[in-house]
Amino acid sequence: MKKLLPVFFMLFLSLNILAQQQHGSLSGVVTTKNGSPVAYVTVALKGTSYGASTTDKGYFRINRINPGTYTVVVTAVNINQQEKQITLTAGQNETVNFELDLSNTQLKEVMVNARNNSVKMDNPSQSLRLQEPLIEVAQNIQVISGQSIKEQQIISMSDGIIRNVSGAVRLEHWGDLYTNVSMRGSQVQAFRNGFNVVSSYWGPLTEDMSFVDHIEFVKGPAGFMLSNGDPSGLYNVVTKKPTGQTKNEFSYTVGSFNLNRATLDMDGKLSKDGKLLYRLNLSGQNKGSFRANEYNDRYSIAPVLSYQLDDKTKITAEYVYQRANMSDVGSYYVFSPFGYASLPRDFSMLPSGLPATKINDHSLTINLQHQINDNWKLTAQAAYYNYSQNGTSMWVDSVEADGRYYRNAGIWEAKSKMSLGQLFLNGKVTTGPVVHKMLAGIDLGDKRYVADYAQTHSLDTGSAPFDPKAPNLDNPANGYPVYDRTLSLEARAANGYGLINSNYTSLYLQDELGFFDNSVRLTLAGRYTYVKQSNFGATQKANHFTPRLGLSVYIDDYTSVYGLYDQAFTPQSGRVSVGKLKPLTGNNIEFGIKRDWLEGKWNTTVAVYRILKENELTADPNAPANAGLSIVFGQRRAQGVELDIRGELLPGFDVTANYALTEAKVSKVNPGVSESTGIKVGDIVPGYSKHVANAWLSYKLRTGVLRGAGIAGGFTYQAGRQTDTWSVGLQKLPNYFKLDGGLFWEGSKMRITANVLNITDKYLYSGSYYAALGAYYWQAEPPRNYRLSVSYKF
């Protein structure tokens, strides 16, 4: 590859030079009258297929234009169209600039409306608190746009979204119940609109894509966001908000395994002056499975209201309700002492009469933004989350040498309440030649999770174990469970170590100093966090100061390099069998290079990192699954390389591709750990894949009779997959390869998308060896299956 890459780039450069000699090109910049760049607006040659979108700096460039006279048009939603006439000659570049009469409010509206039309997004959401383009941020942040979600027919956060970001994996699949993404060697934190919404080890409920605008993956500790959390990073789900334009879209999807899904997205104005806006997203879904007795029926309601009090102040209120009625999530598991995939792919141990798991998930968010002046902005937001679950979780009591085993169904009744608040201030101050971008704020949170998962019921008897070779999915020999609910859920949770509470307060201050006309940016930041956390009957209080130091430098207008040192901190609670319980601390050292190509049409990010985590709790490999015992094994070191490519490489040809090399090993061992568990320095830390490569390619015809038709496809490849426990069996997980693809057609109002998933019909699965059972367990993914979507805008 090292030898071929220079040859490839020389060939590409030669072809590009030859093409430029036969064609002309057009470039320029679009700004407001006060000089602010206008990003994401469309610049096109009237009556032709030539066109481009402006970058975050307002630049545009259109290449390979036949010589001639054209009318250049600048268009965007809710702005007056501008036109200019130009004449192009072969081998020459013509420059034309546009100046639009837009207020700050109109400019923000234009950027919000246009950014979802591409797989590449140049700016983070306001909920990440960073008021600058991604290319200037001293950290690897990848954004998955709404366009990518639509093209790939992704219907939930658990449904293939991670193929769009380097190194993200799900080694333990919880269906559509919980997403649980691992990255850089461990599980990352789940955020929604800037709030950490994790209240237990398993949550939150995975988001339905009907109300999701885009998703931001932040690699590393992210001191500007995390009050307490894992140093591997986070993902931030950004929900849809009113855009100020009247538009509606209905979509219907059918697919294999009785998938029927309908969504409605309504966006518009409730007042003639455009101050009161609304957004309403509805979805309903029935979904079966390739395994017997499994189903996942869901619906969601997500209304949003925003009101512009004046030119400087805006308030937004958002409510999301998700209802799930689904089969027991434990049915995904398969157990066998004979190795992985030793049972049929569609095998299930789920009896037909086990009651459904029912979930009600509510959230309410209020957001207030006040533009104090041109340089200062205040944001305040509060959120309340209320979650309830009543169902079961299947597992296995024991596995016999002949492969038969004894199933159990454990109760899983839970409630979660979270009250969250944030207040942060963004500002800009100039001291001589230095420009300071200031960020200061406070985070508050109170999280309470109550669960009864201590009651279990054996479905099979000693004389009649469950036989995978002749599975009987009718009434089990020992009948269905009847749980004791005479005590309140809170009392049962206290008796069974089912209380998880967390209360935190965090203060932070960040100053990004811009030198030499902002071509060099030095970030100095710190966060002070106080946390009180309890779990498994143990409570811990802790406070800690975490610094952040970053440097980002422009090499040219389209290339930046950066370095970062950041820390993370979180208390830990649990019943410890080996080691001494202490707060988890971690730090990340990272270097990277970011570049926009073809005047911003596509970009690349390359990052290298090293993360150290101290005093981390992990499940005791010698304890039973339901014992809740942990060990403090010492220090782990995760390091690796990440490459992300995203954007329009050629007219109509969009690419999302990535690769990650990850390695996580034990770097220190606490006294007593090796003797009791066998874990030693140099051991692989489970929970990741060493090599992960993904791609999604899409090509759409822009001219001719078949204009709007296109083809899309992609793959996921994983090698060196490490299991999710410390237990080591005789078999390793094999390499993973999944191929998807399909056709689509898109007009001005309608889009038709048809995809085939797992085209090669491979038996795909993830799993581990469980020493306490003396058996392998795994979760199979669906065989070859199909989806057809039709959406209509009105």
Q: What average pLDDT does the segment 16-37 reach?
A: 73
The CA distance from 194 to 196, in Å, is: 7
Q: What is the DSSP letter of 219?
A: E
Q: Give the closest residue to 354 by CA, choosing from 384, 391, 379.
A: 391
333-337, 465-469, 666-670: segment of lowest average pLDDT = 666-670
Q: Where are the alpha helices (DSSP H) in 136-249?
A: 146-151
Residue 94 has pLDDT above 70, yes or no: yes
What is the predicted pLDDT for the residue at 715?
Answer: 97
Residue 579 has pLDDT above 80, yes or no: no
Q: What average pLDDT does the segment 102-116 reach?
A: 60
Between the alpha carbon of residue 347 and those of residues 169, 208, 332, 451, 785, the distances in Å are 24, 27, 9, 30, 17
2-11, 76-85, 301-310: segment of lowest average pLDDT = 2-11
Superfamily of segment(s) 239-415+430-467+506-793: TonB-dependent receptor, beta-barrel domain (2.40.170.20)
Q: Give the closest residue to 776 by CA, choosing from 766, 786, 789, 761.
A: 766
Instruction: Count how many Cα atoms sit within 13 Å of the Cα of residue 13 in the half-sphere of its side chain.
Output: 6
Residue 117 has pLDDT above 60, yes or no: no
538-556 and 575-578: which strand pairing? unpaired
> b/e per residue, 499-518, with b = 16+ CB within 10 A?
bbbbbbbbebebbbbbeeeb
pTM, two decimal places: 0.86
**Model confidence over 213-222: pLDDT tens digits?**
999 999 998 8
Most confident segment among 165-179, 192-206, 477-491? 477-491
Q: What average pLDDT does the segment 678-691 reach?
A: 88
Token readout for 56 is: 């975050």
What is the predicted pLDDT for the residue at 565?
Answer: 95
Residue 36 has pLDDT above 90, yes or no: no
Fold identical between 22-102 and 239-415+430-467+506-793? no
Largest CA distance in the chain: 88
Given a contact cutoff of 8 angstroms between Cβ atoms, the answer to whether 569 and 585 are in contact is: yes
Per-chain mean pLDDT for the chain: 89
The CA distance from 503 to 228, in Å, is: 11
Q: What average pLDDT does the segment 21-37 reach?
A: 81
3-class DSSP assignment, residue 129: coil
Residue 12 has pLDDT above 50, yes or no: no
Which runs of E-coded beta strand occur in 722-784? Answer: 736-746, 750-757, 765-770, 775-780
Q: In CATH, what class is 22-102?
A: mainly beta
Q: What average pLDDT does the segment 618-639 reach?
A: 74
Q: What average pLDDT does the segment 646-670 reach?
A: 93
Q: pLDDT > 90: what percent of the chain?
A: 62
**What does the angle CA 754 – CA 755 – CA 756 come to, to the nearest 5 degrees?**
135
In the chain, where the domains are located: 22-102, 239-415+430-467+506-793
* Residue keyed to tokens 């109300």: 211
Q: Give the closest residue to 234 by CA, choosing from 530, 588, 574, 645.
A: 588
